[in-house]
Chain A
Amino acid sequence: MEVESSTAGAMQLLSPRNFPGVFDSVDAFLFDCDGVIWKGDTLIDGVSRTLDLLRSKGKKLVFVTNNSTKSRRQNAKKFHSLGISVSEDEIFSSSFAAAMYLKVNDFPQDKKVYVIGGEGIIEELQLAGYTGLGGPEDGKKTAEWTSNCLFEHDKSVGAVVVGLDPFINYYKLQYGTLCIRENPGCLFIATNRDAVGHMTDLQEWPGAGCMVAAICGSTQKEPIVVGKPSTFMMEFLLKKFQIDCSRMCMVGDRLDTDILFGQNAGCKTLLVLSGVTTLSALQDPTNNIQPDYYSNKVSDFLDLLEA
């Protein structure tokens, strides 16, 4: 099973042989959530004990998730409901990333933000002092197509933020499209572009990449992406933890977001096979993204540490 590394870049199966070296060289573990910590609303086996063990060994834990439907606070609640203790400021969700992007770029507070996505984005925008329009409640709206009806949109919208939206509908597509095409300088921000994800434990579902591509299709514009693999969030992580990237390890289940994020940022990378990526997909000759290490799941740490 192990891929023997004859060249420096080849990925290695995490084993009792290489694990101690990895463990000692990492001060902070960055975990993706969907497919690593949980699947839908179901905790993956052994995760709780693994995280406790890592903390007891003095490792910092950070959770970097592209799922924008929840705010940091709501994500923390989910952790608690699954029996894992985390603090809000250990969580970096793409909903938070979107609000921070606007903040660091001095987005004017008198401009509004139209949201195609979940409550999480609306909440993070509010916390950052911005006014969000749209979000879940526009899921109930429909458009009218009679000749004398004009579809109105707020001309003071200066940014459209698009994330995962299971309540996507034509009204939202049209609203976002009009803002981007007609409001001068309107920003088009994507929380992330994941094609699919484990929104439930039993199967994959279309991700934010779908809603974002819908808006790309109607506006013929490309978005600013704030979530993985963009390293925008890394700036905040570095500021908070004062740890060098080389002493961090990104643990994720997705090559084109988690592992690419880690590589772009200069961290070590570990792919777990408990989510969307299978071993055959990882080893497929067409796959160009090679993590430093791979393993079945996060709780493998328990066996490896006890070895």
Chain B
Amino acid sequence: MLSRGVVVSCSGQSQRLFSAVSGFSAARFLPPPSSSPSSRFASVAWRSSFCSSGDPKPRPRMETLKAARASAPPLRDADDLIDSVETFIFDCDGVIWKGDSLIDGVPETLDMLRSKGKRLVFVTNNSTKSRKQYGKKFETLGLNVNEEEIFASSFAAAAYLKSIDFPKDKKVYVIGEDGILKELELAGFQYLGGPEDGGKKIELKPGFYMEHDEDVGAVVVGFDRYFNYYKIQYGTLCIRENPGCLFIATNRDAVTHLTDAQEWAGGGSMVGAIRGSTQREPVVVGKPSTFMMDYLSNKFGIQKSQICMVGDRLDTDILFGQNGGCKTLLVLSGVTSLPMLQSPDNKIQPDFYTNKISDFLSLKAATI
């Protein structure tokens, strides 16, 4: 999903995109906060979960951007692309569905790819649902998708904590929705906060003091419809006062399509708020950070060059694919239009673009 403000832009906004990009790349490699140098979480395991084993480290974003071609070509030979990769990673909103409506031709396309022996993976920055809950959504839309094939940023947050051996006796404060809570529970972590803190009120008056749990070792921030001052203060206190407390963002999308009719302020807003009060940068686990890419390439034993990332948003999906060293295909069935892609201010060019994923069927048919 592309935020219009990013692509249809003057050069000032492109600059912001670049700094946002390098911010994301930098955020990947930021060690846990230095307030506690001997933090138990600052293990080597953490660092290696970001630096992919085997595959060359992706070039810094700026170099890659300068080397990008003028404009991506339309996909002509779908067969060629399909045969050249082993795995397709699909974004969900704007690629598979829009809001709660399935996009035309998706079931047949996925079936065709599976029949050719391709592995399918679904990676979404949406942290409101757990993998299991997404599995149900796929099912209600009539799609044959396994929970194990779905990687939401809610799952990514829990997987990240696991990868750094986050101690089970420490707690996680959540500014976000149910999906994050469910994934933390599945991973065996104790959590506080979530939607029920949306009902808590504070009174700024003399003598009022807000306590916070000193055992909180990480604050996870994602999209939160029940965002309020109580949560902001709780998260802020944990990050500022609990030694070594991590600040983890599921994603930083500026806007998101909660309904298919319009854009809605996204996780980038809640994460921004906590950045503002703590003056700290988060570790980002969702796209375009390659954490999820590294995770699934390790888990399934796939070479990144054998992957094609398919998404509708340049600054998350396509950048994710490029950062990961994969092929990239932009679909125009979501937030990005052709003029946006071809705008001189847009510096992110996928390998190919096409209207929607069912073009795999029609383009394929044309070459027979």
Contacts and interface: CB of A to CB of B under 8 A. Distances in A.
Given A195-B276, A212-B276, A174 B265 contact: yes
A218 B277 contact: no
A206 B254 contact: no
Interface stretch (B45-53, B136-144, B204-212, B322-330): B204-212
Contacts of A145: 225, 258-259
A227 to B, nearest CB: 14
B242 interface: no
Contacts of B269: 173, 177, 214-215, 217-218
Contacts of A1: none
Given A178-B263, A181-B5, A220-B254, 14 more contacts: A41-B206, A143-B264, A150-B262, A173-B227, A195-B276, A195-B277, A196-B240, A206-B277, A209-B279, A211-B276, A214-B270, A217-B270, A219-B254, A220-B6
Interface in B256-281: 258-266, 268-279
A214 B224 CA distance: 12
B345 to A, nearest CB: 13
Contact of B276 (A42, A146, A147, A210): A210
Interface stretch (A87-95, A102-110, A163-171, A247-255): A163-171
Interface in A18-72: 40-42
B37 interface: no
Given A167-B229, A169-B227, A221 B273 contact: no
A201 interface: yes
Nearest to A153: B262
A17 to B, nearest CB: 36
A151 interface: yes
B8 to A, nearest CB: 10
A40 B204 CA distance: 8
B233 interface: yes
Nearest to A207: B277
Chain B contact surface mostly: mixed
Contacts of B268: 217-218, 220
Interface string A212-248: 1111111111100000000000000000000000000
B68 interface: no
Interface string A113-151: 000000000000000000000000000000101111111
B255 A218 contact: yes
10 contacts: A42-B206, A150-B262, A166-B204, A170-B265, A178-B263, A200-B208, A210-B277, A213-B272, A219-B5, A220-B3
B111 interface: no
Contacts of A148: 261
B355 to A, nearest CB: 23
A24 B5 CA distance: 53
Contacts of A168: 227-229, 232, 273
B364 interface: no
A218 B254 CA distance: 4
Given A143-B225, A167-B229, A170-B265, A206 B276 contact: yes
Given A166-B229, A173-B269, A217-B269, A147 B100 contact: yes
A146 B207 CA distance: 42
B236 interface: yes
Interface string B1-37: 0011110000001001100100000000000000000
A221 B232 contact: no
**Of A143, A168, A206, A212, most B-chain CB atoms within 10 Å:** A206
B272 A218 contact: yes
A84 interface: no
Nearest to B204: A199
A220 to B, nearest CB: 5
Interface of B: 3-6, 13, 16-17, 20, 99-100, 202, 204-210, 224-229, 232-233, 236, 240, 252, 254-255, 258-266, 268-279
A209 B205 CA distance: 21
A40 B276 contact: no
**Of A149, A200, A217, most B-chain CB atoms within 10 Å:** A217
A147 B259 contact: yes
Given A173-B269, A218-B269, A206 B4 contact: no
Contacts of B227: 168-170, 173
Contacts of A196: 236, 240, 277
Contacts of A283: none
A-B residue pairs, 5 tightest by C-beta? A217-B272, A213-B276, A206-B277, A214-B273, A217-B268
Nearest to A203: B209
A195 B278 contact: yes
Given A199-B204, A218-B268, A220-B13, A205 B5 contact: no
A209 B6 CA distance: 22
A41 B204 CA distance: 9
A193 interface: yes
A265 B279 CA distance: 25
A166 B260 contact: no
A220 B16 contact: yes
**Of B5, B205, B206, B229, most A-chain CB atoms within 10 Å:** B229
A209 B253 CA distance: 19
Given A206-B277, A213-B273, A149 B259 contact: yes
A221 B269 CA distance: 12
Nearest to A168: B229
A3 interface: no
Contacts of B262: 150-151, 178
A215 B275 CA distance: 12
Nearest to B4: A181
Nearest to B258: A145
Contacts of A203: 209-210
A307 interface: no
B125 to A, nearest CB: 14
Contacts of A8: none
A151 B5 contact: no
Nearest to A167: B229
Nearest to A69: B204
Contacts of B258: 145
A177 B210 CA distance: 30
A214 B205 contact: no
